Structure 1
Amino acid sequence: MDVTHTPVLTERVIDLLAPALRRPGAVVVDATVGLGGHSHALLEAFPQARLIGLDRDTTALEHSRRRLCGLGDRVDLEHAVYDQLPDVLERLGVPAVDGVLFDLGVSSMQLDLDERGFAYSRDAPLDMRMDQERGPTAADVLNEYDVDALTRILREYGEERFARRIARAVVTQRQSAPFTTSARLVDLVRDAIPAAARRTGGNPAKRTFQALRIEVNSELEVLERAVPAAFDALAVGGRLVVLSYHSLEDRLVKRALTPRSVPSVPPDMPVIPPDAQPTLRWLTRGAEPASDTEIEQNARAGSVRLRAAERTAAEPGRAHNPTGGVR
């Protein structure tokens, strides 16, 4: 396996985090450390910084440990889902951090390993768990959910127009034999949707696989908790960067952060009190795509959207750190 994959938008991520990570004693969190590509680049770019890397995938963590092992006590790697960041920081005795990076979605390693079941292009067990030590698999979802529940996740998480047709086909076919591998599901989706809809948009099973993966790993629920928690963990002047790969993630990130970028007072109030000032400043204009050049060099960048923000003030009542920053 190639463990030196090319991470997406590395130079842009470094540029956005640089003002915060050049500070003495800076701490950066890679909340989705994966194979360690972004983490390695950040540690090389900021030789005084400390990195805390989180991942729910134990296989990915092992590769990251090998990749980052030469950096010694500058690295802490934790088996954790990214909404557990506050607990990790408390356990490590870190009151606040200077940067947080999220690189969301499925990793190249997870796609490349057939036994993980993420790829619809190869026949494999229907697993799709990012943490293979716990939780239901995609096969469990297909074999246990009723038509309404399957329709909901396909429609909400896969934005699938033919969600109910696919759900009904799944429930019908599983009566003869449970679903265990991906090829049968791919065939079912292809047969369930109209022929005209199969002619465009790539593999018609793509949306179904996305929906199952999000459901199995509770990705949106976790992200909804994780983004505010990550911002709350930032010191004043700290920065948050999020790389999303589909519109559901990007909309959730925007929705979670936007209220912090406006004063918490009625719009007609002539004077904004100090404790009602915005605590967030956007560093990007909307969601940034990758350049054509980057997409040519790294196909995974084709769907990426980047948002970044800086913490401009502490929440009322937060304590000041002795070093001068607000923590």
Structure 2
Amino acid sequence: MPHISVLLNEVLQLLDPKPGQFFIDGTTDGGGHAAAVIERIGSTGMFLGLDWDKGMVERLKDKFKTVKGTVMVEHANYADVKDVLQRRKLPKADGLLLDLGFSSAQLEDERGMSFQKDEPLDMRYDLTGDTPTAANVVNGLPEQELADMIYQYGEERMSRRIAKRIVEERKRKKIITTKDLADIVAAAVGKGYEKGRIHPATRVFQALRIYVNHELENLEKILADCADIVKPGGRIVIISFHSLEDRIVKTRFREKEKEKIGRIVTKKPITATEEEIRQNPRSRSAKLRVFEMA
């Protein structure tokens, strides 16, 4: 399944990259947004792309190796952009892009991101570290913490019942695959869950992915660091895919505007057109917000 960049035209319009400028893509992923930005900044421009997935970084380096101009691709968490700039002795950027959705490639990479296939329950974006997997979490967290995590990050109202069932089942047999977990969740919530609108495991899988990868903490960190990353007049463009992320972006942008650090460009989030949703159903939940540094 090829990765299709979400809201590409809107990103380009709002970032407005020009020849000779410096842009950062903190979630370079398949490189769709990046390629379009690199084309516009030209041979005199400078581009820094980060991705947490080492395999993705190798593919990106290969993709951009013939590009004329300064294109740097690094295996790093976007939360560490400030440190990367300091280490590479790079200036503040004209713009920063974050697409917070996970990649189609990661869905196909047997990481256990989806309950649609039976795979090892991993869910880490970065497979090079020794951070706990989703299996470690569901087999190791105490019941109360498990329930809190599912409620907080999955906004799942049946979190207590689900956590209780997980703990009961893991005493019998270790939970190691996506099917193991999906079946346990489905059994816990029973028939008629959300009147069949979503799979019973949807919110639990979201919660685990966010927890395992520290997604909300990473977002908070880069928003706190943005004055050290983007120059005055430069823009921060963030695409989020669920309400927890969007709420953080919206709240922090408002706080920064009150502190006169800059201004909100998008009073309401930009969403995909019906045409884009038809071509790429994943874009349906995307919300794009923009902040311009003062």
| Pairwise same-fold verdict (TM > 0.5) | yes
Contact 1:85 1:230 (8 Å CA) reproduced = no
Matching residue's letter, 1:11 = N
Aligned-pair CA distance for 1:196: 2.5
Which residue of structure 2 lines up, in the alignment, with residue 6 of structure 1? 4
Matching residue's letter, 2:122 = D
Which residue of structure 1 lines up, in the alignment, with residue 280 of structure 2? 298
What's the CA shift string for 1:102-127, capped at 9, x where partnerless?
000311111122x2110110000000
1:199 is paired with a residue of what secondary structure? helix
Which residue of structure 1 lines up, in the alignment, with residue 270 of structure 2? 288
Which residue of structure 1 lines up, in the alignment, with residue 89 of structure 2? 93
Identity %: 40
What's the CA shift string for 1:153-196, capped at 9, x where partnerless?
10010001110111011110001111110011111111111422
What's the CA shift string for 1:233-260, capped at 9, x where partnerless?
1111101100000000001111222112
2:192 is paired with a residue of what secondary structure? helix
Q: Which runs of 5+ in 1 are unaligned?
A: 265-277, 313-327
Structure-2 separation of matches of 1:238 and 1:223: 19
Structure-1 separation of matches of 2:91 and 2:167: 49
Which residue of structure 1 lines up, in the alignment, with residue 15 of structure 2? 17
Structure-2 separation of matches of 1:28 and 1:102: 11
Q: TM-score, normalised on structure 1?
A: 0.86
Q: What is the 5 A alignment of 1:94-243?
A: 94-113=90-109, 115-134=110-129, 135-243=131-239
Matching residue's letter, 1:261 = E
Which residue of structure 2 lines up, in the alignment, with residue 272 of structure 1? none
Contact 1:190 1:198 (8 Å CA) reproduced = no
Contact 2:236 2:292 (8 Å CA) reproduced = yes
Matching residue's letter, 1:6 = I
Aligned-pair CA distance for 1:198: 4.9
Instruction: Identify if the C-alpha distance between structure 1 residues 44 and 73 changes in structure 2 by more than 3 Å, giving closer, same or farther.
Output: closer
Q: Which runs of 5+ in 2 are unaligned?
A: none
Aligned-pair CA distance for 1:203: 1.1
Structure-2 separation of matches of 1:133 and 1:252: 28
Contact 1:243 1:304 (8 Å CA) reproduced = yes
2:13 is paired with a residue of what secondary structure? helix
Aligned-pair CA distance for 1:60: 1.1
Aligned-pair CA distance for 1:40: 0.5
Larger mean Cα displacement after TM superposition, 293-302 or 135-144: 293-302
Structure-1 separation of matches of 2:92 and 2:239: 22
Query: 4+ residue runs of structure 1 moved beyond 6 angstroms?
Result: none
Aligned-pair CA distance for 1:6: 1.6
Which residue of structure 2 lines up, in the alignment, with residue 316 of structure 1? none
Contact 1:14 1:45 (8 Å CA) reproduced = no
Structure-2 separation of matches of 1:72 and 1:137: 39
The answer to whether structure 1 residue 35 and structure 2 residue 17 are counterparts is no
Q: What is the 5 A alignment of 1:252-291?
A: 252-262=248-258, 264=259, 278-291=260-273
Larger mean Cα displacement after TM superposition, 42-51 or 103-112: 42-51
1:79 to 71, 75, 78: 75
Instruction: Identify if the C-alpha distance between structure 1 residues 205 and 193 changes in structure 2 by more than 3 Å, giving closer, same or farther.
Output: same
Matching residue's letter, 2:274 = D
Contact 2:27 2:99 (8 Å CA) reproduced = yes
2:30 is paired with a residue of what secondary structure? coil
Q: TM-score, normalised on structure 2?
A: 0.95
